[in-house]
Chain A
Amino acid sequence: MSTSFDPTAARANVAFRQVGKPLARTDAPGKAIGRTPYAGDYVMPGMLHAKVLRSPMPSARLVKLDVRKARALPGVVAVLTARELPDRLAPTDIPGQTGQARLKTDQQILVRERVRYHGEPLALIAAESADIAEHAMKLIEYKLEPLPAVFDPEEAMRPGAPVVQGTDNVVARHAINKGDVAAGFAAADVVVERTYRTQFIEHAFLEPEVGLAWIDENDVVNIRVSTQVIEHFRFIADAIGVPHNKVRIMGALVGGGFGGKEDITVEVYLALLAKHTHRPVRLEFTREDSFMGHGKRHPFVLRYKTGVKRDGKITALEVGLISDAGAYVFLSPYVLLYGTIAAPGPYLIENLKVDAASVSTNNMYTSAFRGFGAAQACVAYEQQMDEIAQAIGMDRLEFRRRNYLKTGEPTATGFPPPSAIWTERCADLAWQALGEKTKAKGAVRIGRGLAAYQQSYGRLTFLHDTSEGWVGVEVDGTVVVRSGVTDIGAGQVSALAQIAVEILGVTLDNVVVYNSDSAVTPLAGTTTATRALYMTGNAVRVAAEAVRNRLAARAAKAFGVAAEDVVLADNKVTAASRSDKSMGFAELIRLCASEGIQRSELAIFRAPFTDRLDPVTGQGQAYPDFTYGAHAIEVAVDTETGEVSVLKSVACHDVGQCINPAAVEGQIEGGAAQGQGYALSEEMIYREGRLTTPSFSEYLIPTAMDVPVVKSIILESRSGLGPFGAKGIGEPALTPVAPAIANAVADAIGKRIFDLPITPEKIVRALNGI
């Protein structure tokens, strides 16, 4: 195994043949012709069909649960309740971390006595057909007695509130104390204080959660599942009480994730049912199950108080954050930490105080969602920047220019990012690209908004993240990459293919990537936190370089030249100094094979390993690095109906180095649409804890009728820590969109709506002062 890759050695400005080209993704043809099997497309002989019975109440005591009639129904093979489960809990912490012990947040798998949220599972059913399982659900008799409940995180913090988690509902606190905030406010000419609110939203991936489990000849629980994280096999094993090597997770190409398949979904239920019945079991969530069965994006209350000089220099910032963790902890502490660190945005603020709390309630639990707390912070800090600019009468972009963090300057935690910071260029270019302003007409007003951002890529460095990758060449000269990475639709696998063939000098049609199998592909970590390209891309790069070096050494011997002189490109091997020397790539491979020269390599890549941040000051290194950029928006607002149309949408991001520009544009365009939904139409509405938007008829994601054609301006500083100087773009593409739209609407109507989503109703109310 190779040693850790030194990112400073990333060679930029090489003459790429594969990287940086808008190539068709390797996974696209199979998907286009409908031949790609997703996790839900697998079946097995003798397979059972499972269902989950869920609580219709958000806070209750389970006083009766009688499953005898359901068990007696012909065709029902198993009905499991908490009574039948091993005396164990399911871990819900971040998977695959090696830097620290797990949080003590494990939770009940099925309701034992107390229901804490609407939809919490009461029982599992496995039957010969889905129809029978469905029927059996109706035969389960249960009685729930309502318990006192709390649905507002601020109410939940008050003494005497019903306790959902811990002793006081506060599941995490984080703080940053930097400089002298009191002195900063004293030096300010103007102080602007505002409160912003964000809502529960749903990932709305098109493929609902689904999996198929079976027990194999070694008594290993195998699960083929739609997930971002095959390394949940450890937590699944802990939950069902078997050693870690007795659970195998196989992924498939995932039908969308966005953070919603980052936690365990169907896996523990499947493992328990397969263990219990000794038969293969399939569980597929309905859309309603999906809306009820995985954590949402955290609603945040964000209180911003900013001191500023008349010349536009920010002198102090004080931020209070409260997030609704819902009924169980899941990743709430980490999401809150992301929000805390992101609170000042991409600005240099020397006097900074952030106090953040995540609070449990009887709402649906909340967890990972693209942007992971940093997106909520951006909704607030970028609206606040516009509010301040207005208060001091300064142009919005000019005010930002006077405060941007610049290359080499420290972020909120005192850590200077190692890469270039091109926020100013990005913001100016995006704004200019809006072009001539659309003319207002009748009741329709036009407005423009911009948002800049700072978003980490790579995991929190105190988690001590690693990724492994394997590259090898078959005897016929074709290339194989093995990586545990899951592909959630962003082209993670295709990027690995491009990286490997770039280094080995073969064309993209000569490589196959085998991915996401915890038993046979090297563990690559999660596809979360905008880390896959950075971490796994580097692991594959290191492995490919090791193979290349051995091949080049053998070719050098054959050519009678130095190894550095050997060029591997376009399936050919040549010598730069000797035009008479050349051979085919496959020929060189045959030569190496016949001499027993190793044609493969397993490599590990390690992110920077750090300790936790200082708990009082919040100072230290939190992430490997950050991506920077901006999004500019023009909207039309109909002041009679309150309807908002997004007319123009321009993104400008420094992605370090594009591996595949078409895929980068795809991330940006998709992020723009998702951000538009966040800003204008999407909200999971829980009334007294009960979900009232359980389908796409009530929960409105943007359609083909709603979105503008996005213009992407992609800058390449080649300064990132990823392969060839790449940064990450998955989460960054989304983060600035909603605040840019909010700023554009405020610009159009002269009034700000402080809570997302900005619905027509809120706009009409604001315009009419009601």
Chain B
Amino acid sequence: MPKKKTSPKSPPKERALALRVNGRVLEVEVPPHRTLLEALRDAGFVDVKRGCEKGDCGACAVLIDGVAVDACLTLAWTVEGRDIVTAAGLGTHENMHPLQKTFVEKGAIQCGYCTPGLIVAAQSLISTTPDPSEEDIRVGLSGNLCRCTGYAKVFEAVREAAAQMRNQRGRR
């Protein structure tokens, strides 16, 4: 007796994309439903953290043309040609971004899982609001959940980094 065949729906077609991530071009082949979070993590950008995949927690925030966006709510196909920057793209051990430095110095990092997203969100905030008030910082980080720190040292770190970045710009 021929067995009734249970074939899955034919998988959606993959498409080759060129994503610009942290200043280099990344060739990926992904189906239309692949999120930017999945595409980036599969390509090794594991500093983009998976926390909820619903846009609730902000752990996967990346900069797209300088604006913080939840990568889990962004389809990879929609950001081709845009400038994507992850937390690891902002600095290195030898050459840390001011936010990375102040997060370390102010004790704003505990488990660190939310840290890349927070740094990305803070960078997005400072780029449009170079001298953020406490309220600005709270609103700017309101899409990023942190369970360890209670946010107080995060606020300090962002305030301090913004000041350093203003000074740097002033000197230039």
Chain A residues proximal to chain B, CB less than 8 Å: 22, 24-25, 27-38, 40-41, 69, 72-74, 131, 135, 139, 203-208, 253-258, 284, 286-287, 488-491, 662-663, 665-666, 669-674, 695-697, 701-705, 707, 709-710
Contacts and interface: CB of A to CB of B under 8 A. Distances in A.
Most buried by B among A22, A666, A697: A666
B153 A72 contact: no
B145 interface: yes
A738 to B, nearest CB: 14
B145 A696 contact: yes
A205 B110 CA distance: 12
Contacts of A24: 104-105, 107
A695 B111 contact: no
Given A31-B109, A72-B6, A284-B50, A258 B147 contact: yes
B88 A205 contact: no
Interface in B70-109: 86-88, 90-93, 96, 100-101, 103-107, 109
Contacts of B114: 206
A702 B153 CA distance: 15
A704 B49 CA distance: 19
B8 interface: yes
A253 B144 contact: no
A321 B111 CA distance: 34
A41 B46 contact: yes
Contact of B154 (A72, A258, A704): A704
A139 B100 contact: no
A201 to B, nearest CB: 12
A27 B110 CA distance: 9
Given A30-B93, A255-B113, 12 more contacts: A28-B103, A33-B92, A34-B86, A205-B111, A287-B56, A662-B106, A670-B110, A670-B149, A696-B56, A696-B145, A697-B54, A701-B145
Nearest to B135: A705
CB-CB nearest 6 A-B residue pairs: A34-B47, A489-B111, A31-B112, A255-B113, A669-B150, A696-B56
Given A27-B112, A490-B110, A696-B145, A32 B153 contact: no
Nearest to A253: B112
Given A29-B104, A69-B6, A666 B153 contact: yes
Given A33-B87, A38-B113, A709-B155, A22 B93 contact: no
Given A25-B107, A255-B112, A255-B113, A701 B47 contact: no
Given A69-B6, A206-B51, A696-B56, A32 B149 contact: no
Contacts of B111: 205-207, 253-257, 488-489
A710 B115 CA distance: 20
A32 B54 contact: no
B137 interface: yes
Nearest to B46: A41
A271 B145 CA distance: 32
B17 interface: no
A488 B90 CA distance: 25
Residue with the greatest number of chain B CB neighbours at <10 A, chosen from A203, A207, A253: A207
B107 A665 contact: yes
B151 A707 contact: yes
12 contacts: A31-B115, A32-B91, A38-B46, A203-B147, A206-B111, A207-B51, A253-B112, A287-B52, A662-B153, A669-B149, A696-B52, A704-B144
B146 interface: yes
Contact of B107 (A30, A254, A666): A666
Contacts of B56: 287, 695-697
B72 to A, nearest CB: 10
Contacts of B155: 704, 709
A707 B134 CA distance: 12
B25 interface: no
B59 interface: yes
Nearest to B154: A704
Contacts of B91: 32-33
A704 B151 contact: yes
Contacts of B142: 703-705
B50 A696 contact: no
A361 B51 CA distance: 30
Contact of A703 (B11, B49, B92, B145): B145
A489 B6 contact: no
B26 interface: no
Contacts of A704: 137-139, 141-142, 144, 146, 151, 154-155
B150 A671 contact: yes
Contacts of A34: 47, 86-88, 115-116
Contacts of A204: 145, 147
Given A33-B88, A696-B56, A206 B147 contact: yes
Contacts of A33: 47, 87-88, 90-93, 96, 100
Contacts of B90: 33
B119 interface: yes
Given A204-B147, A666-B107, A704-B141, A709 B152 contact: yes
Contacts of A41: 46
- Which among A22, A33, A695, A701 has the greatest number of chain B C-beta atoms within 10 A? A33
B165 interface: no
Nearest to B51: A206
Nearest to A131: B11
A287 B147 contact: no
A255 B59 CA distance: 11
B150 A673 contact: yes
Contacts of A257: 111
B147 A663 contact: no
Contacts of A705: 138-139, 142
A24 B6 CA distance: 57
A198 to B, nearest CB: 19
Contacts of B110: 256, 489-491, 666, 670
Nearest to A491: B110
A30 B111 CA distance: 11
B53 interface: yes
B18 interface: no
B133 to A, nearest CB: 13
Given A28-B103, A705-B139, A35 B147 contact: no
Contacts of B112: 27-28, 31-32, 36, 253, 255, 489
A31 B54 CA distance: 23
Contact of A73 (B6, B92, B145, B151): B6
Contacts of B145: 204, 206, 696, 701, 703
Contacts of A72: 6
Question: Which of A31, A672, A701 has most B Cβ within 10 Å?
Answer: A31
A28 B109 contact: yes
Contacts of A665: 107, 153
B93 A35 contact: yes
Contact of A208 (B47, B50, B146, B148): B50
B163 interface: no
A517 to B, nearest CB: 19
A670 B86 CA distance: 26
Contact of A710 (B54, B92, B147, B150): B150
A22 B148 contact: no
A710 B90 CA distance: 30
Interface centre among B54, B111, B146, by most chain A C-beta atoms within 10 angstroms, is B111
Contacts of A40: 46, 50
Contacts of B144: 704
B134 to A, nearest CB: 8
B67 interface: no
B64 interface: no
A695 B52 contact: yes
B28 interface: no
Contacts of A673: 147, 149-151
A698 to B, nearest CB: 10
Nearest to A733: B150
